[in-house]
Every structure is written in structure tokens, then in C-alpha cells.
Amino acid sequence: MRTQVGIIGAGPAGLLLSQLLALQGIESVVLERHDRAYIEQRVRAGVLEHGSAQTLREAGVGARMDELGMAHGGTELRFMRRRHRIDFEQLTGRGITVYGQQEIVKDLLAARIGAGGDIRFEVQGVELAGLDTDRPTCRFVAAGEQHQLECDVVVGADGFHGVSRGYLPNPTVYERHYPFAWLGILAEAPPSSHELIYARHEDGFALHSMRTPHIIRMYLQVRPDEDLAQWSDERIWTELHTRLSTDDGFKLTEGPLLDKGITPMRSFVCTPMQHGRLFLAGDAAHIVPPTGAKGMNLAMADIRVLAHALGGYYADGRTDLLAAYTETALHRVWRAMHFSWWMTTMLHVDPDEDEFGHQLALSQLEYVASSRAMEASLAENYTGLPYSQGWSYR
């Protein structure tokens, strides 16, 4: 087989790249190890920055997001049993959209398959070769048969545990593991607030979020080695009530749990994000703690840069944009790393934290709640920094 761009991974990053390339007349083949049903049902992030939502519209896949997504003009911080709302729209003129990652995948799949895009599901044993040549290859097994795909460029959008990053020779890795994790639940219940709530409580962090007007997503800070079996539904709800409670009588809506699991928290950056004709995007190159809602948005930002660079390569034979891919992408990556770290350390209770550290965190929250400059900084980072360039080369 022969194509221009081979893409490993049919998550939001890989599928968005395939869509943006197609709009520029560039061919691609997407290789995915799971079946279509799995990736369409896999529950992941749900907060879209202003620029991410706009990118989906520009890519021609924003109609269902605009119909079903929930637009938020702010968020709420809670500490010391008090509420403080950060007004995104007033501070930045931008907002966010809550729309599940699996819905984005459905929209992108429908667009690509509807246009005759080549997406191979249930692909196993992917191996890369010739990355230092002008004809790199992807070897893989599908339906029990060996296949070989020749490309001009290979893009690894196959996540943290994918194979692509292993083909970087001697990369530099920056990593931090946090001394806590998130116990997350999905529950069938209407949201108790029309916007996300981030709460710091002496017992730990809690987050109230939503996926639809009838499904809520909630998180509790727990130990990294927490035994999920020790958390009954009743215990989870009791702890959520405790950590989200306020002096003005906030009421948390309960409902039957649809899912629960524990997610460790880490920061991870791998550089360079490219080698020869291989380019990494999204979780294959970087991971952020979920507190700042940056994971999927960073992946989409990588793809904007890469789609623009590939457009220049195929339209005019330019190689400078591809050569600068790592440097360009990492500017945004490190800004998001810092913001996610800042939100995480401010809102979580470190198990080794003494009273001094606790008071510092509360002082930081008080400052955010009382300073318009700090509010604006949080709002600017949360809703997403403006893009310096469009994805389209023309």
C-alpha cells in the first residue's frame, strides 16, 4: 500500500489530522488497534478550549458539538466552604465547551468514513522502518495477514502506551509523578451546577463536572495505591457531599453510578517530538495532570501545527515548518504543563503537606479570588491561549 501520511492511532488527534489533511488534498491512512465500537464508547476528557472548538468547526465537524455541547462562560473555585466564580467571558471574551471525547471521535469518524477515508481497525503488531529515508514504512497485521504501508511521513498519535515514541533515538524525558490520584465516577443524574466546580477541602480535592444534561462526571482525590473495592457507592457520595459542601447550603444531586475508576496523575514531556520522517502528537509525546483540562486540547494544538507544516510541505516543498515542529509545539506544551501543575498543587492536599503548606495553598486561592489579574490569568490559560497560526497552509 502507498499513501502520503501514515497515522498511527484513531483518537481525536489522529482522526483530526486525517480530516485536516483531507481538506488540503493530502492522502492519509489511519491505523487503529481497537475496533470502531471501542473507540466510540471510550470515555475520556470532555472540556474543549475556545480554540479547540473553533478548530472542529473549521474542520467541518462542529455541527453536532454546537447542537449538543454545553457552552460554559466560567468556572467555580471552592475553598473554606465558600464559592468564587471565575467569569471567563468577562475576563477574556472566550469560553469553553463541554463535549465528550468519544463524541468528537464519532463526529470525525463519520466525516472521514463518509468521505471515503482509509481507517484500518483492529490492527496489531505495528512496526516502523526507514524513518531516516524518504519512504518510511508501517508494517502491521490485520485479519491475520501481514501488510506494509509506504508513506512520505509517519505520525504517531497512538497515546502514551503506543509504539511510536519507542522509535525516537535517545529522547530527553521530563517527568513528575504526583502523590495522589483521582477516583472518578460517571453517574446518571442532572448536574448540580451549570458550570464545573473545583474544590479544595482539608480531606482533599473534588471536582464536579458533567458530560450531558443528564450525566455527571465527578472526581475525588485519593492515594495513588487506593483500592477501588474499598469505595462503595455510599462512601463515594458521602465524601463528595463533604468536600463540595458550602455554608450557603449547596445541594449535590445523586444518581446511580454508571462507571468508576482510579487514574494516577503525572506530568510527562518527551523531546524531540520528531525523528526523521516520524512526528509525535498528543499523549504519545506529553501527559498533563487532568486538573487543567489540557490533555485533549494540547493534542489538538499539536495537530494544528502539524497540519499546517504538512500543508506547506506538499504545497510548496517547504521543510522548514516540519523541521520546527518540536520547537513550535513545545512552546504551548510547557505553558500547559505549568498551568496544570499550578492548578493541581493549589487545589490538592499533598499527603506530606504540613500546616505551612496548607496555609500557602489557601493564600494562593484567596489571591486568585481577590485579584482581577490572577482571575484573568486563570481564565486565559483555562479557555486556551490564542493560536499563532491557522491549521490551513493556504
290 tagged catalytic: yes
Query: Do 148 and 139 contact (CB within 8 A), yes or no?
Result: yes
23: Cβ contacts below 8 Å, ≥ 6 apart: 59, 60, 392
331 tagged catalytic: no
Residue with the three cell numbers 474499598: 230
Instruction: Name the catalytic one among 50, 72, 275, 308.
Output: 72
**Could you please report the per-residue DSSP string of 342-384?**
HHHHHHS--TT--HHHHHHHHHHHHHHHH-HHHHHHHHHHHH-
The cell numbers describing 147, all together, are 501488510
Using the 8-state DSSP alphabet, how is residue 291 labeled?
A: G
The C-alpha atoms of residue 195 and residue 178 are separated, in whole angstroms, by 26
For residues 373-387, b (16+ Cβ closer than 10 Å) or e, as one string? ebbbebbbbbbbbeb
Instruction: Name the catalytic one among 167, 178, 219, 382.
Output: 382
99 tagged catalytic: no
198 tagged catalytic: yes
Instruction: Name the catalytic one among 50, 294, 308, 348.
Output: 294
256 tagged catalytic: no
The C-alpha atoms of residue 271 and residue 384 are separated, in whole angstroms, by 22
Instruction: Name the catalytic one among 198, 313, 325, 393.
Output: 198
Instruction: Name the catalytic one among 219, 290, 314, 348.
Output: 290
**Could you please report the per-residue DSSP string of 20-88?**
HHHHTT--EEEE-SS-HHHHHH-----EE-HHHHHHHHHTT--HHHHHH-EEESEEEEEETTEEEEEEH
Positions marked active-site: 72, 198, 290, 294, 382
